[in-house]
Structure 1
Amino acid sequence: MFVSSLRWLLVLLPLLFALPALAQKPDTTLIRYSGQLSGQYTSGGVNRTLFATAHSVTLLRGLHFGAPVAGSFTFGKQERRLREREWLLNTTPYYWKGHFRFYGIGGYERSNLRGIDSRYQLGAGPGWAFYQDSLGREVAVSNLLLREATYFQDGSSRTVSRNSTRLKVAYSYRVFTLSATTFYQPNLQDFSDYRVSQLSTLALRFTPRFAVTGTYTYTFENRIPEGKSRDNTNVTIGVAYSTK
């Protein structure tokens, strides 16, 4: 009798320990943060100082929902005169299942360099991850429809509908991480009116949370107030901190 009971106990014990894992629902909430400080100083032909900082917080809920919020600020002077003072804030909540993604977007922007007093964006659209793994390596494309209202520093304004195509590439090898994001955003009513932006960051990671970074940014916008620069390129060196 005792031997028979012992056999049943040995069979049931693994099941009892497995029940909490089986009953656990994928409803966990994770919060991830990353922050970056970078700068540039040159003298000689052109005296230039540039400071940039970017921060992002991502809320992950369960297995299929995410809500990243990102913000950046850039401040730059040339020959001791203010040239660049850029603000950017956006959120892109998304749903994913397998390779499929669906994004929403809300954004706010100010740009002294391009004469933008304020810009607001709202939109939504699908995306597809061609490759993604547990190391964070990824190749993904998304295509969103945007409604955009821009108020310029000269008092003019305009509201347009845009198509926003994004290519995102992330790759890591040992202590090196490369991430690159490219946007192409034409006006749906006039494809000669478009905007292109590109952000690439190469990070040398010393610890799982701390890295030294080199960042390349490029923006081009062909319809801005007269006298303002249509494009801008920055190369900066800095440090980054992130949580897991």
Structure 2
Amino acid sequence: MRFCYFLLPLLLLLVRPARAQRADTTIIRYTGQLTGQYTSGGVNRTLFATSHSVTLLRGLHFGAPVTGSFTFGKQEGRLREREWLLNTTPYYWKGRFRFYGIGGYERSNLRGIDNRYQIGAGPGWAIYTDSLNREVAVSNLIIREATYFQDGSRRTVARNSTRLKVAYTYRGFSLNSVTFYQPNLQNFDDYRVTQQSSLALRFTPRFAITSTYTYTFENRILEGKPRDNTNVTVGVSFSTK
């Protein structure tokens, strides 16, 4: 019994509580992912996709993630998909409240988009969050969007952008899902839906096998171009802490 009384203070000295992030701390996190798909038979298809994310966390209330992705795909030997996407969403948070800015750039051969630019801002709220980076959050931004199509036409609209974000981890598994619904503020029949989910099986703190599901739908696009597109890919990812 006396041994237990001696052991308890020793354990308290050895097991230190995790330190909270200081107000002057800067943290940089990086995640890179490489995925692909190959099918043959009825349709011969190859698809290559890579995405990268860098997040700057400054102090207790500021974050600035920058994400970029590139997709390249062929069907029956012909180029069908060549997509570029660059996006940044700097934000301020306090408790569960968030305030976001957004800046985006996109090119899409599949949808006939030469260049698309986005800028906007709006509030958000974390419905659930914990110390394991598990989160359910919503945000609602007003964005201004200018699109230059491959046929030479141009379109500028204001959109409402509603986002649902879900991040969940359990042991070696992690799920990240982001869904956007973006209607035109002048015509709600004109809208865009984007959904991306990634399931990862982590073998080490840095490396994981990933499976990614991506769906896009845009109901106003160039004639002859598909309104929606679905991709399911499998690959590997690398991340830093």
2:133 to 111, 133, 136: 136
Q: Is the contact made by 2:22 and 2:60 (CA closer than 8 Å) also made in structure 1?
A: no
Q: What's the offset of the Cα at 1:161?
A: 0.1
TM-score, reference length from structure 1: 0.90
Report the count of equivalent residues: 222
Tell me the residue number matched to 1:41.
38
Tell me the residue number matched to 1:124.
121
Q: What's the offset of the Cα at 1:232?
A: 0.2
Q: What's the offset of the Cα at 1:217?
A: 0.2
Is 1:155 aligned to 2:152, yes or no?
yes
Is 1:70 aligned to 2:61, yes or no?
no
Is 1:61 aligned to 2:58, yes or no?
yes
Task: Give me the whole-angstrom Cα distance separating, in 2, the residues matched to 1:120 and 1:74.
Answer: 18
Is 1:97 aligned to 2:94, yes or no?
yes
TM-score, reference length from structure 2: 0.91
Tell me the residue number matched to 1:202.
199
Task: Give me the whole-angstrom Cα distance separating, in 2, the residues matched to 1:154 and 1:26.
Answer: 51
Tell me the residue number matched to 1:31.
28
Is 1:167 aligned to 2:164, yes or no?
yes
Tell me the residue number matched to 1:231.
228
Change (3 A) 1:25 1:202: closer
Query: Which string of whole-angstrom CA distances, capped at 9 and with x for unpartnered residues, describes residues 102-128 of structure 1?
Result: 000000000000000000000000000
Bigger Rg, structure 1 or 2: 1
Task: Give me the whole-angstrom Cα distance separating, in 1, the residues matched to 2:122 and 2:22.
Answer: 28
Q: What's the offset of the Cα at 1:25?
A: 5.3
State the identity %.
83
Unpaired segments of 5 or more residues in structure 2?
Answer: 1-18
Q: Secondary structure at the residue paired with 1:198?
A: strand
Q: What's the offset of the Cα at 1:180?
A: 0.7
Task: Give me the whole-angstrom Cα distance separating, in 2, the residues matched to 1:45 and 1:158.
Answer: 37
- Amino acid across the alignment from 1:91: T
Unpaired segments of 5 or more residues in structure 1?
Answer: 1-20
- Amino acid across the alignment from 1:67: A
- Amino acid across the alignment from 2:36: G
